[in-house]
């Protein structure tokens, strides 16, 4: 009996040592192979350092959704034929070479109009908002650009280097301990995998939609990004929503604070809800690139939930972003496609091995995701930008400026920098020359 107990204890110790080794090996890899997503220039001023612990200690915040100020584009029905795909009989996924829109705030004519109409104090997109809300789940380095003009704040993806901006791609196995991608240029390197994941997502979004014109939801305004109706581009809807982030309190000198977010709506299920509206669904693709980590064709038909849970574990930041984007958009369901390489040694051909649908809010509850805690992260970052002071700078210059929020590549730290005005002018000149 004692021998058995000793063996069990030894086994637990060995497992603990192994887990410790794996964890530290991954940390070491990140330390040696990762860099910050942007080079911090010496003329930038460090405004604030924030940590995961800082975010965890923030009070809960439940903003009030005021209204959908604008709805644009068209929402096609989901093609349920894709649900017939199985591990034994996968369906080929055609690569989409058209344009998928994630335009910046200032390239969005609708957003510019809403800014001029003064509908809110803060403006951003669902992609960027989700990055900030899920910041504590990220491992890789990323950054967002924040602009302050008088009483308005604009939070957006940095536009000066789109090919190397991690937010323009989908991370892959970022939180995996066993199969962390190496920082090289092989097809299973970090950047090639992220580019492959993004391409698969774009292809799935385009291909899974039905062409049936009777099932299309046409919003009140046209898609602001389509150049013409014949342009090869993804078709989806855009809903511009305004939340009250902070109540006014005249006694304490607190002003009302509102945030406007552009949210994407991908598709409709074709079914009707109790209120007579069509149920909405956002679609996302998860991709398999190594049989060492999984084997969807052999297991997905009888254990699809286990496959999804594994993806949640190894891609925590990515899938949390999907969930937050779907909640912000107000869609009823999320549909995941399990996409595998046709040949694991090549990243050019892919097949869909199966699909799985979850109820958005129910899944958020099961995942212990608290939007009340996530909203307070955005509010805290906005407050730091509003209160930012640079020593020796004139008062009129304090009311405006450009900032960079940078996630450290090696630590769970987030640094807010204010860019130098001369640096901004230099960048503008470089862009004009290009």
Domain residue ranges in the chain:
34-433
Q: Is 400 left (phi over 0), alpha (psi -120 to 50) or beta?
A: beta
3-state secondary structure of 68: strand
**Tens digits of residue pLDDT in 43-67:** 999 999 999 999 999 999 999 999 9
User: Which one, of 245, 331, 324, 271, lies nearest residue 61 by Cα?
Assistant: 245
User: Which one, of 216, 199, 235, 211, lies nearest residue 101 by Cα?
Assistant: 235
The pLDDT, as a whole number, for residue 25 is: 45
Say if CB 290 and CB 179 are below 8 A apart: yes
The whole-angstrom separation of Cα 107 and Cα 392 is 34
Say if CB 7 and CB 382 are below 8 A apart: no
The whole-angstrom separation of Cα 374 and Cα 434 is 39
The pLDDT, as a whole number, for residue 93 is: 97
In the beta sheet, which residues pair with residue 350? 93, 341
The pLDDT, as a whole number, for residue 356 is: 97
The pLDDT, as a whole number, for residue 407 is: 96
CB atoms within 10 A of CB 377: 22
The whole-angstrom separation of Cα 367 and Cα 360 is 11
The whole-angstrom separation of Cα 232 and Cα 95 is 13
Say if CB 335 and CB 282 are below 8 A apart: yes
The pLDDT, as a whole number, for residue 26 is: 46
pTM for this entry: 0.89
Say if CB 334 and CB 358 are below 8 A apart: yes
The per-type count for the chain, helices as H runs and strands as E runs, is 12, 15
Give Cα separations from 24 to 30, 52, 94, 178, 348 (angstroms).
Answer: 10, 19, 40, 12, 33
The pLDDT, as a whole number, for residue 434 is: 47
The pLDDT, as a whole number, for residue 33 is: 44
Q: What is the Cβ-side half-sphere exposure of residue 162, based on CA atoms within 13 angstroms?
A: 5
- Regions of the chain where pLDDT drops below 70: 1-34, 421-434
Q: Is 209 exposed, middle or buried (0-12, 13-18, 19+ CB in 10 A)?
A: buried
Say if CB 269 and CB 77 are below 8 A apart: yes
The pLDDT, as a whole number, for residue 34 is: 60
The pLDDT, as a whole number, for residue 425 is: 53
The pLDDT, as a whole number, for residue 29 is: 44
Residues with Cβ < 8 Å from 1, sequence gap 6 or more?
none
The whole-angstrom separation of Cα 374 and Cα 321 is 11
Residues in the chain, overall count: 434
CB atoms within 10 A of CB 132: 21
The whole-angstrom separation of Cα 180 and Cα 428 is 38
């Amino acid at each position: 009996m004692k021998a058995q107990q000793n063996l069990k204890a030894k086994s637990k110790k060995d497992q603990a040592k192994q887990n410790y080794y794996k964890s530290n090996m991954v940390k070491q890899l990140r330390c040696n192979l990762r860099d910050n997503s942007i080079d911090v220039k010496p003329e930038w001023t460090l405004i604030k350092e924030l940590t995961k612990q800082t975010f965890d200690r923030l009070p809960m915040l439940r903003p009030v959704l005021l209204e959908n100020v604008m709805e644009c584009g068209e929402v096609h029905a989901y093609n349920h034929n894709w649900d017939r795909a199985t591990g034994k009989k996968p369906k080929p996924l055609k690569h989409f070479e058209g344009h998928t829109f994630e335009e910046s705030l200032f390239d969005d004519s609708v957003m510019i109009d809403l800014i001029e109409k003064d509908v809110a104090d803060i403006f951003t997109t669902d992609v960027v908002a989700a990055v900030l809300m899920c910041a504590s789940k990220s491992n890789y380095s990323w950054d967002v650009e924040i602009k302050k003009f008088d009483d308005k704040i604009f939070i957006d993806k940095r536009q000066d280097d789109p090919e190397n901006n991690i937010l323009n791609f989908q991370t892959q196995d970022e939180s995996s301990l066993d199969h962390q991608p190496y920082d090289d240029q092989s097809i299973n390197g970090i950047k090639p995998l992220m580019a492959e994941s993004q391409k698969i997502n774009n292809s799935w979004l385009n291909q899974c939609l039905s062409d049936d014109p009777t099932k299309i939801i046409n919003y009140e305004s046209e898609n602001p990004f389509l150049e013409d109706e014949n342009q090869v581009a993804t078709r989806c809807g855009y809903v511009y929503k305004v939340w009250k982030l902070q109540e006014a309190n005249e006694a304490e000198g607190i002003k009302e604070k509102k945030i406007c977010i552009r949210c994407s709506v991908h598709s409709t299920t074709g079914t009707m809800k109790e209120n007579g509206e069509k149920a909405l669904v956002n679609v996302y693709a998860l991709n398999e690139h190594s049989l060492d980590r999984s084997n969807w064709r052999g297991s997905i038909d009888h254990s699809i939930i286990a496959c999804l849970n594994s993806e949640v574990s190894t891609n925590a930041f990515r899938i949390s972003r999907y969930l937050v984007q779907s909640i912000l958009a107000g869609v009823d369901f999320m549909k995941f496609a399990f996409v595998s390489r046709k040949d694991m040694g090549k990243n050019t051909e892919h097949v869909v091995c199966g699909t799985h649908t979850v109820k958005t809010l129910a899944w958020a509850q099961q995942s212990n995701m608290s939007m009340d805690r996530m909203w307070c992260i955005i509010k805290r970052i906005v407050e730091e930008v509003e209160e930012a002071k640079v020593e020796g700078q004139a008062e009129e210059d304090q009311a405006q400026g450009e900032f960079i929020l940078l996630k450290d590549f090696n630590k769970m730290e987030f640094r807010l920098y204010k860019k130098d005005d001369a640096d901004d002018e230099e960048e503008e000149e470089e862009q004009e020359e290009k």
